[in-house]
Amino acid sequence: MALYNNLLFSIEREYCSRPHPGLIIAGLIFKEPYLRCNQCDLIVLAVLYLLIKCAYTTESTHGKFTIGYVLDVPSIGEISFTLSESITFRYKGEDLPVYALIDKLTREKADEYDDAKIKQLYIRIYLTETKTSELPKFHFTFDEMVNKLHEMINYKRDVDPIEVRTPVVHSNRKSRYPKSLTSLKPSSKELLPFIVADTETVLVNDVHVPYAVGFMEVKPCDALSSKMVETYYSTDYPDYIYKTIEERCDKMLFDFLERLAVVVRKNPSMKTVYFHNLSRFDGILLLKYFVNNSEKYTVKPLIRNNLIYEITVYRGKKLLYHLKDSLRMLPNSLDSLARHLCPQLGSKGIIQHNEIRVSNLLHNRDKILDYMKQDIVLLGGVMLKAQDIYWRAFKVDIDALLQSKELEYPCPKTFTFSLFRNPQGMIPYSFTVTSHFLITLGLSFSIFIGITIVGFQRNGLHFLSISLPAGVPLPLAPFLVLLELIPHCFRALSSGIRLFANMMAGHSSVKILSGFAWTMLCMNDLLFFIGDLGPLFIVLALTGPELGVAISQAHVSTISICIYLNDATNLHQSGYLFIIEQKGVRK
């Protein structure tokens, strides 16, 4: 069992203690590189390993256990926590299988913590009706442990036994079940409003201190203007009350956050506040303020790979709003996004940030506020346009999505997959995934199925008209449907076959010539520089074009997907353009 060997190789030390008869604590300490939270199979195997050695070998009538991680976080250190409530492994003296429950729990935690490092894994075993305080001393051989693990994984029972209760019949009681099915209520199809905000900072003792902040409410279909922006400026607060710039800035942020709370209270559907570059700049400043003023607010940040994706703000147990990063959704500069998505709002302003000092904040007040207002208006226009594009394409509000997983763009991900996998075969002793026919065929079939689903979602049954162009005479309709349907279905094969053929042919030719060159180099004859090094130079000359083919095939595959997706969402668009062009020529 290779997985079990990997587990044993990763274990540095294991321990088991029994503080009192009803509690056993067992755990595994791993070697570097530590296990990751997304290595679910190894984690499940480690828990089963501990249960077999320390739980199922005990004598008790009832038993439960909990699972705990000790994570190694670079910026904080070790963090220990329990994954969930206790799981029953023994009931009335009968051992119960728990593989399915452990597997489900670890995969849920893998979604939350992704590739976080697990330095230690431990279980706490709770036993009832047992008097001994000795540790289990049963030892298993390698084969016995493998057989035990195999039995637990393949056993089908995965729930606690439930005692069947005798039903109580109430003859005079009316049935609570309806006689007919109730109709489904239509889901809301309205775009949600949101808030955009921005901060400006100045360096004080080499530390960024916010001195200006502003926000604007954005509602779908509303015109945007700088007059809609509410601003807060540090010099507006009297210096005889707030002596230092830090005190004035704290008061400014307090008023800003309180005003946000009032706005979202008046508009319950407005729960999201966007900052551009929240993850690396604004979010750090706001988290610092929340930490220093935690008596009024409770925050739950979502941090992945040292990036702040979202900050959820509560007052007590009541949700106030979510602070999100628009840069994670639209990874480009605000100036570039505004020029392409909302050029009618103007361009981004210019200000010399390195010339801003605490001493000249009052003098530059109007210029800085105008600059910040323009940034906020541009951000509002960009997010409004992005919301509209995503709604028209997928009928999903971008404001209702999370940035780390749900908001994913399949075409760039497919391009990235092909871009890095295609040239992989150029590395010695490596395997090109995209030269395997089953991989490319599965990829092309999944893309074809996904595009078909998108076509039906966008156009309904009218999507079937893709097989019958407009204006076709009725007698020719059956033949044209067949002729259009065959190439449409062949798309499920063509993309995979093209990618497979190009990768297999190119990499195979390079491999054959490389083997031939190596054989020639091993020969010793008079024609060494002509006959022996010739094939080597040919291989080196083919490496560049083959690398170009591998990269270009990633581009070709992605362009094909985009073309197919456009055909599914915009039916007969090319035909309509042709008709419009012909009408223009006639006029």
Supply the pLDDT for residue 161.
Answer: 44
Give whole-number Cα distances, 416 to 142, 393, 555, in Å. Answer: 42, 22, 9
CATH number of the domain to which 292 belongs: 3.30.420.10
First to last CA, the chain: 77
Per-residue pLDDT reduced to its tens digit, 145-165: 888 888 887 764 444 444 444
Provide φ and ψ at 108, rounded to 5°: -65, -40
Sequence-ordered strand ranges (E) for 93-205: 94-95, 117-128, 194-204
Domain ranges, residue 346? 194-400
283 and 326 both lie in a single domain: yes
Claim to verify: residue 274 and residue 239 sit in the same structural domain: yes
Q: Residue 125 domain-assigned?
A: yes
**Helix, strand, coil: what percent of the chain each, to 5?**
50, 20, 30
Same domain, 434 and 391: no
What are 459's two structure tokens?
Answer: 């156009």
Residue 373: name the closest of 233, 191, 253 by CA. 233
Q: pLDDT tens, 36-70?
A: 888 888 898 899 888 888 888 888 888 899 999 99
8 A C-beta contact, residue 520 and residue 535: yes
Which tens digit of pLDDT belongs to each residue from 435-453?
A: 777 888 888 888 888 888 8
Give the other-Cβ count within 10 Å of 555's Cβ.
Answer: 12
Query: Quick one: 441 and 343 in the same domain?
Result: no
pTM passes above 0.75: no
Kindly state whether residue 308 falls inside one of the protein's structural domains.
Answer: yes
Which tokens go with 116? Answer: 């976080």
Of 338, 367, 400, at which residue does a domain stop? Answer: 400
pLDDT at residue number 509: 77
Nearest to 297 by CA among 234, 254, 249: 254
What's the pLDDT band for 587 if we cut at 50, 70, 90?
very low
Return the closest-CA partner of residue 347 out of 333, 358, 357. Answer: 333
Q: What is the mean pLDDT of residues 193-218?
A: 93
| Residues in Cβ contact with 138 at an 8 Å cutoff, skipping those fewer than 6 apart | 53, 57
Residue 159 within a domain: no
Q: What is the pLDDT of residue 528?
A: 53
pLDDT digits (tens, 9 = 90+) for 477-527: 788 788 878 877 877 788 788 888 888 887 777 777 777 777 766 665 545
The number of folded domains in the chain is: 3
Confidence of residue 174 (pLDDT cuts 50, 70, 90): low
| Residue recorded with tokens 């997010």 | 383
How confident is the model at residue 140, as a pLDDT? 77
Distances from the Cα of 261 to the Cαs of 258, 265, 549, in angstroms? 5, 6, 55
Domain end point (choices 105, 126, 154): 154
Give the CA distances from residue 109 to residues 32, 128, 160, in Å, rounded to whole numbers and listed in that order: 21, 29, 22
Amino acid making up residue 50: L
Contact of 396 with 387, CB cutoff 8 Å: no
CA separation, residue 210 to residues 140, 324, 358, 438 (Å): 63, 18, 11, 55
DSSP codes joined into one string, 384-403:
HHHHHHHHHHHS--GGGS-T
Res 232 pLDDT > 90: yes
529 and 487 share one domain: yes
Please report where in the chains the tokens 């639209």 appear, as a residue.
330
Last residue of a domain, one of 400, 427, 445: 400
Structure confidence at residue 194 (pLDDT): 93
